[in-house]
Chain A
Amino acid sequence: MALDLSRPIYMDYNATTPMDSRVLEAMMPYFTEKFGNAASRNHVYGWEAEEAVEKAREQVAKAIGADAKEIIFTSGATESDNIALKGAVEMYAEKGNHIVTMLTEHKAVLDTCRRLERDGKATVTYLAPKQDGLVDLEKLEAAITDKTIMVAIMMANNEIGVIQPMEQIGEICRKHNVLFFTDAVQAVGKVPVDVNAMKIDVLSISGHKVYGPKGIGALYVRRKNPRVKLAPVIDGGGHERGMRSGTLNVPGIVGLGKALELCIEEMPNEMKRLTYLRNKLKDGILSQLEEVYVNGSMESRLPGNLNMSFAYVEGEGLLMGLKGLAVSSGSACTSASLEPSHVLKALGVGDELAHSSIRYGLGRFTTEEEVDYAIQITVEAVNRLREMSPLYEMAKAGIDLKSVQWTHH
């Protein structure tokens, strides 16, 4: 089949995913004829909405090995992360005020922690990862004090795709009687997640990373051993066990449930398929270009994620050369700032290689032809830009770039 190149090929599945048409189909009736408020107890409109919500709650719970009663719906993972952290800090203030997290977390966790610190509500330890992006379990254990109430470590990283050793982290948290919260946005539906085997107490989910809609998310809150309570961030009608007030987004919730059901059904095949495609992409590039470095562990990683640094070319400039591909860079492009990725910096990649990074995210609709095309244009663009790069020229001439007096500006 010929590739449609009228629009860039989408390879940014870690940023968001297209909605699966089967998900849209499941949602449609809940916008129009089944429009009821799930909290209306007196008529069929409310009942059918409530029934749909409860079905979705089952579907979400099943995707992570939880009980439906332990799932609350939110507007997305940013909100879930906020409730997890702020809710725990408020609820467990008597026990302590210390949180342990990592420098490589998503901004939804990091910036929430920073605010809690600024407001004098919590003290936070930010652990640096090992060079492969994984947590150092000894450092984690050493960071826990008798004031620690929560460990917040994401299951899979959104930039480099590395998967943390969940069971070991859970074990350490249980041993020290602190809550284990994980932002599992990138992992749920992609790789197996089991809140009991992994001893997870609180977990965030987002709809739009699992081929569901944007603006819907969920939070798993353990109900026994231990029973976790979180103070609400949004007050109101007392929906969702009082932890998240607000009329339920029924179509969004139905979509999230359906999306996760599909992910779980297709997971065994999809993991194999994406691992094959991702490795083909990696090997295809590495075999044709020198001085390309994979960022993050290849052993413990999401099947569809690849993050590479191309020495001597700048990421944003490279993105421009990859205009046939929709990918992202750890260079300035990820945000309005000109700072390179905080994740790559935390790995100790070095600013120059952080500026040279590209994230490829493969997913459900990625084909082998698309991967072949991505390999070809990446190799072409990198070669072209290296010919234009003073750094490449200097390195080829045997100059140690570290020994050069650069003019910082």
Chain B
Amino acid sequence: MAYSAKVIDHYNNPRNVGSLDPKDDSVGTGLVGAPECGDVMKLQIKVNEETGVIEDAKFKTFGCGSAIASSSLATEMLKGKTIEEAAAIKNTAIVQELNLPPVKIHCSVLAEDAIKAAIEDFKKKQAAKRAKAQEALTNA
């Protein structure tokens, strides 16, 4: 199968490969997919806790070229967005930008899932942090 120029570019020069500290309260981690299915994405966001703006995003992906490109592009799209804006990102935007063929649409769906999972994780951590602070307050 021939890949689009944009997929090849992201594959050869992936943006934002790496990891953020998953224990940091301002970091949300999404891990989606399964090795048996041939793709796993880990996507992380670092959010400014005051403004809710995503200041950094990193990914690591096990998968085909389109899966790598989808997650690489997703990190690019995330940076600078608020978490509300990020939550509204649709897989179709990734399909369009990368010219993914129909058999590779699942890669973009997985990237959308990864974004949602990372936001979810960030929100969960924030809620836990608030609950803890609340608890500390009431116990004081």
User: Is chain B's binding surface mostly helix, strand, loop or mixed?
Assistant: mixed
Interface size on A, residues (CB 8 A): 31
Interface: A355 (CB within 8 A): yes
Docked complex: B57-106 residues within 8 A CB-CB of A? 60-65, 67-68, 103, 106
B37 cross-chain contacts in A, Cβ below 8 A: 351, 408-409
Inter-chain CA distance A314–B106, complex, in Å, is 15
Cα-based distance from A333 to B39 in the complex (angstroms): 14
Q: Check A355/B68 contact, CB under 8 A, given A388-B17, A388-B61.
A: no
Residues in B whose Cβ lies below 8 Å from that of A340: 38
Q: Which residue of B lies closest to A406 (CB)?
A: B34
B38 CB contact (under 8 Å) in A332, A336, A388, A393:
A332
Q: Taking the complex as formed, is A387 at the interface, i.e. its CB lies under 8 A from any CB of chain B?
A: yes
Given A320-B65, A388-B60, A406 and B40 contact (CB-CB distance below 8 Å): yes
**CB proximity to B under 8 Å, residues A336-370:** 336, 338, 340, 350-352, 355
Of all chain A residues, the one with the shortest Cβ separation from B30 is A407
A314 to chain B, nearest CB (A): 5
Q: Does B36 contact A (CB under 8 A)?
A: yes
Asked, given contacts A388-B17, A409-B106, whether A316 binds B38 with beta carbons under 8 Å apart, the answer is yes
**Nearest CB of chain B from residue A386's CB, rounded to whole Å:** 9
CB within 8 A of B34: which of A333, A387, A407? A407
Inter-subunit contact B36/A352 (CB<8 Å): yes
Least CB distance, B25 to chain A, in whole angstroms: 20
Residues of B within 8 A of A391 (CB): 35, 40, 62
A206 touches B (CB below 8 Å): no
Contact A406 B35 (CB under 8 A): yes
Residues of the A chain whose Cβ atoms lie less than 8 Å from the Cβ of B113:
407, 409
Residues of B within 8 A of A (CB): 1, 3, 8, 11, 14, 17, 19, 31-42, 60-65, 67-68, 103, 106, 109-110, 113, 117
Contacts of A145 in B (CB 8 A): none
Neighbouring A residues of B68 by C-beta, 8 Å: 317, 388
When C-beta atoms are compared, the residue in chain B nearest to A353 turns out to be: B35
CA–CA, A351 and B40, complex, Å? 13
Q: Which of A315, A333, A407 has the most CB of B within 10 A?
A: A407
The yes or no answer to A59 lying at the interface (CB within 8 A) is no
A390 contacts partner chain B, Cβ-Cβ < 8 Å: yes
Report the bound CA distance from A86 to B50 in whole Å: 73
Inter-chain contact A336/B103, CB cutoff 8 Å: yes
> Contacts A388-B61, A409-B113 given; 9 further ones with Cβ under 8 A?
A314-B64, A317-B11, A317-B65, A317-B68, A350-B36, A388-B68, A407-B31, A409-B33, A409-B37
A351-B36, A390-B40, A406-B35 as given contacts; A320 in contact with B11, CB under 8 Å: yes
Interface residues of A in 20-63 (CB under 8 A from B): none
C-beta contact mask, A192-219 vs B, less than 8 Å → 1, else 0?
0000000000000000000000000000
**3 shortest interchain CB distances as A-B pairs:** A406-B34, A352-B35, A351-B36
Q: How far is A338 from B65 in the complex, measured between Cα atoms in Å? A: 14
In the complex, chain A residues whose CB is within 8 Å of the CB of B64: 314, 316-317, 320, 331-332
Cβ–Cβ contact B35 & A317, under 8 A: no
Encoded as 1 (CB less than 8 Å from any B CB) or 0, chain A from 389 to 409 comes to 111110000000100101111
